[in-house]
Structure 1
Amino acid sequence: MRVLRSSAVAVVAAATALTAVSGCAEKSDTKGADTVRVKATDDKCEVSTTSFPAGHVKIAVENKGSKVTEVYVYAPGDRIVTERENIGPGTKAEITATIKAGAYEIACKPGMKGDGIRQKITVKGEGAAPKSDPELDKAVAEYRKYVQAQADETIPAAEKFAEAVKKGDLDEAKKLYAPSRVGWERTEPVAESFGDIDPKVDVREDGLEKDQKWTGWHKLEKSLWDEKKIDEDDKKLADQLMTDLKDWQKRVGTAEITPTSMANGAKELLDEVATGKVTGEEERYSHTDLVDFQANVEGAEKSYELLKPVASKNDAALAKELDKQFAELRKLLGDYREGDGFKAYDSVGKDDRKKLSDAVNALAEPLSKLAGAVVK
Structure 2
Amino acid sequence: MPRSRQATTRTPVSRPARRRLTAAAGSLAGTAALAVALTGCVPNQATASDEAIAVTLSDDTCTVSTNTAKAGPITFQVTNTGTDVNEFELLATDKLRIVGEKENIGPGTTVNYVVQLAEGDYFSACRVGMVGEPAHVAKFTVAPGSGTTVSQSESKQVAQAVANYAGYVKDQSGALLTATKTFAAAYAGGDDAAARAQYAAARSFYERIEPTAEQFGDLDPALDLREADLAEGQEWTGWHRIEKDLWAPAGYTPSDAATRTQLADKLVTDTQRLYDLVHAKDFTLTIDQISNGAIGLMEEVAGSKITGEEEAFSHTDLQDFQANLEGAQVAYGVVRDIAEQKGSSGKDVVAKLDGEFRTIEKTLAQYRSGDGFVSYTELSTEQVKELSDQVNALSEPLSHLTSIIVK
Q: TM-score, normalised by structure 1?
A: 0.86
8 A Cα contact 1:170 1:230, kept in partner:
no
The aligned residue for residue 16 of structure 1 is none
Report the AA paired with residue 261 of structure 2.
K
The aligned residue for residue 350 of structure 2 is 319
Give the share of equivalent positions with the same residue, in percent.
40
The aligned residue for residue 106 of structure 2 is 88
The aligned residue for residue 36 of structure 1 is 53
Cα gap change, 1:107/1:285 in structure 2, threshold over 3 Å: closer, same or farther? farther
Give the match's secondary structure for 1:307: helix
| 1:322-355 alpha-carbon deviations (Å, 9 max, x no partner) | 1011111101111211121101112222222222
* Larger deviation, residues 195-204 vs 116-125: 116-125
Query: Quick check: 1:365 aligned with 2:365?
Result: no
Cα gap change, 1:48/1:244 in structure 2, threshold over 3 Å: closer, same or farther? same
Query: Quick check: 1:257 aligned with 2:285?
Result: yes
The aligned residue for residue 406 of structure 2 is 375
8 A Cα contact 2:88 2:103, kept in partner:
yes
Cα gap change, 1:353/1:98 in structure 2, threshold over 3 Å: closer, same or farther? same
The aligned residue for residue 24 of structure 1 is none
User: Among 168, 171, 175, which residue is 1:146 paired with?
Assistant: 168
Report the AA paired with residue 283 of structure 1.
E
8 A Cα contact 1:168 1:230, kept in partner:
no
* Larger deviation, residues 273-282 vs 42-51: 42-51
| 1:9-49 alpha-carbon deviations (Å, 9 max, x no partner) | 999xxxxxxxxxxxxxxxx969xxx6321112233222112
CA distance in 1 between counterparts of 2:207 and 2:182 reads 18
* Larger deviation, residues 68-77 vs 133-142: 68-77
| 1:35-71 alpha-carbon deviations (Å, 9 max, x no partner) | 3211122332221123333322111112223444333
8 A Cα contact 2:68 2:142, kept in partner:
yes
Q: How many corresponding residue pairs?
A: 354
8 A Cα contact 1:54 1:123, kept in partner:
no
The aligned residue for residue 169 of structure 1 is 191
User: Among 266, 273, 276, which residue is 1:240 paired with?
Assistant: 266
The aligned residue for residue 188 of structure 1 is 210
CA distance in 1 between counterparts of 2:80 and 2:314 reads 34
Cα gap change, 1:165/1:265 in structure 2, threshold over 3 Å: closer, same or farther? same
CA distance in 1 between counterparts of 2:231 and 2:70 reads 35
Deviation at residue 7 of structure 1 after TM alignment = 6.0
Cα gap change, 1:290/1:10 in structure 2, threshold over 3 Å: closer, same or farther? closer
Q: Unaligned 5+ residue runs, structure 1?
A: 12-27
8 A Cα contact 2:306 2:387, kept in partner:
yes
Cα gap change, 1:209/1:145 in structure 2, threshold over 3 Å: closer, same or farther? same
8 A Cα contact 2:77 2:110, kept in partner:
yes
Deviation at residue 166 of structure 1 after TM alignment = 1.3
The aligned residue for residue 229 of structure 1 is 254
8 A Cα contact 1:73 1:104, kept in partner:
yes
Cα gap change, 1:375/1:87 in structure 2, threshold over 3 Å: closer, same or farther? same
Counterpart mapping for 1:205-224 below 5 A = 205-224=227-246
Report the AA paired with residue 224 of structure 1.
L
- RCO (CA 8 Å, sep 6+): is it higher in 1 or 2? 2
The aligned residue for residue 54 of structure 1 is 71
The aligned residue for residue 25 of structure 1 is none
Counterpart mapping for 1:306-345 below 5 A = 306-314=334-342, 315-345=346-376
Deviation at residue 141 of structure 1 after TM alignment = 0.6
Q: TM-score, normalised by structure 2?
A: 0.80
Report the AA paired with residue 212 of structure 1.
Q
| 1:174-202 alpha-carbon deviations (Å, 9 max, x no partner) | 11111111111101111111212112111
